[in-house]
Structure 1
């Protein structure tokens, strides 16, 4: 049987990671701003400017577009993970199967760290995820940890197969 394409694998692992990061962001938003939607809305600042980051209630304009933007970013980072990390983890795990979970976690963490550096140090402020506009550094750490865990979990869901 032919293994799934890079796009299919990235869509699957990106969906896991995107849902995980959105859930963590929403829960952090409820805790810090009394609004599940606020941090998701803030992500849509890419399209709508800073007004999006000030919007607390759920809306089609801010919340849906913020969710979609976060999801697309998660799929993009999942493609990086699937293209370069999963094959390396598979090769390494073949000779050290007991350490496969550690390798998958390290790979997810490396991609999440790269995402953070890119998101907050390399791209213009208009293209940051926007979470920083509504959430604490501690919550941001949890969001990027959710990305890492989502990518690691997806490695096992797809059985570590690569092109």
Structure 2
């Protein structure tokens, strides 16, 4: 299960990071700004104003985002296993969107300010919605990749 969560979480992390970059380009003129903002967990308010790529902000921001993506993927994979929903891609997508909705709710309303994703302060509500949608739709990619690989092998 942890292996599947690592794969699903990696897919969701990569796709949602791509959407963060697109949103940053559109909303604040920097593809790196939303990912940099995640590093506010360590660097505080300074991270909210970092627009250029750096190890300090971009790399750390991505590592945190990736870790949290795998964290949420554990819930996704648990739900998929519990409901034996490994069949239809549509069912997997609904599960991914459900976990993304839960992640959004927790991230933006239940989490202490210091531990929020940070990118919500750099993106418009529209782009933020697209980030969470991308995350939710990418979670099933891991399940589909594992299934496809198992069929080939």
- TM-score normalised by the chain length of structure 2: 0.91
Distance in 2 separating the partners of 1:86 and 1:151? 14
RMSD across aligned C-alpha pairs, in angstroms? Answer: 1.6
CA distance in 2: counterparts of 1:33 and 1:21, whole angstroms: 17
* Equivalent residue runs for 1:110-121 within 5 Å: 110-121=98-109
Count of residue pairs the alignment pairs up? 149
Aligned residue in 1 for 2:123 = 135
1:84-108 deviation line (CA, Å, top 9, x unaligned): 23441537x4xxxxxx122111100
Assess if the C-alpha contact under 8 Å between 1:26 and 1:37 holds in 2.
yes
| SS of match in other structure, 1:57 | coil
Equivalent in the alignment of 2:140? 152
Segments of structure 2 that go 5 or more residues without pairing to the other structure are none
Matched, 1:73 2:61: no
> Deviation at 1:145?
0.6
Bigger Cα Rg: 1
Q: For residue 96 of structure 1, what is the aligned residue in structure 2?
A: none
**Structure 1 stretches of at least 4 aligned residues deviating more than 4 Å after TM superposition:** none
1:10-29 matches, cutoff 5 A:
10-29=5-24
Moved more, 151-160 or 125-134: 151-160
Alignment-derived partner of residue 125 in structure 1: 113
Alpha-carbon displacement from aligned partner over 1:43-72 (angstroms, at most 9, x marks no partner)? 111111011011111111000000000000
